[in-house]
Amino acid sequence: MTSCAPSASEFAFTTVPTCSDASEAKVRATVGQLISRILPKKISNERRRDFRYPYPHLIYLTPVDAAGQALNDLSTVVVGKNITERGIDFFHRDPLPYRRVILTLESEDGARASVVTDLLWTRFTRHGWYDNGGRFLHILAQNGPS
């Protein structure tokens, strides 16, 4: 039986670029496309700046060190909670000691995007998990159906 999980080499990253206005526009467009594939109908009555969609999917997380180097050997899987065009929150079993990470998001039809994310907050839940949230900065890789 073949594995559906991507190999480590598919998510090997090098230096992570810094943020710009152009990269924010690309992030919003790419993540917006992934959201529309997952949840094509928008639900109204959201009072936040951006509408949050449920994102109960597994996400590949690759930490990024202070020099901007991806720490591929420390990649792990986290559990998605909510997503917007600008950011995401997810659950992780252990505290994350990194400020920047690369999150690889997938839709059910195979579209995938790897997004540099600035982690802005974390909360310990009463169930023993950490709820983490961050803002998308850059798209690194994108593939699958378009």
Per-residue pLDDT 10s for the chain (146 aa) are 444 444 555 666 666 666 677 788 888 888 888 877 776 555 555 555 788 889 999 999 999 999 999 999 999 999 999 999 999 999 999 999 999 999 999 888 888 999 999 999 999 998 999 999 999 999 997 776 65
- Our count of domains for the chain comes to 1
The whole domain housing 59 covers 18-37+52-143
pTM above 0.85, yes or no: no
Which pLDDT belongs to residue 142? 74
Which pLDDT belongs to residue 40? 54
Q: Is residue 59 part of a domain?
A: yes
End-to-end CA distance of the chain: 28
Q: Is residue 118 part of a domain?
A: yes
Which pLDDT belongs to residue 145? 64
User: Domain holding 66: CATH number?
Assistant: 2.40.10
Which pLDDT belongs to residue 56? 92
Three-point CA angle 81, 48, 120, nearest 5°: 55
Closest CA to 79 of 132, 42, 32, 123: 132
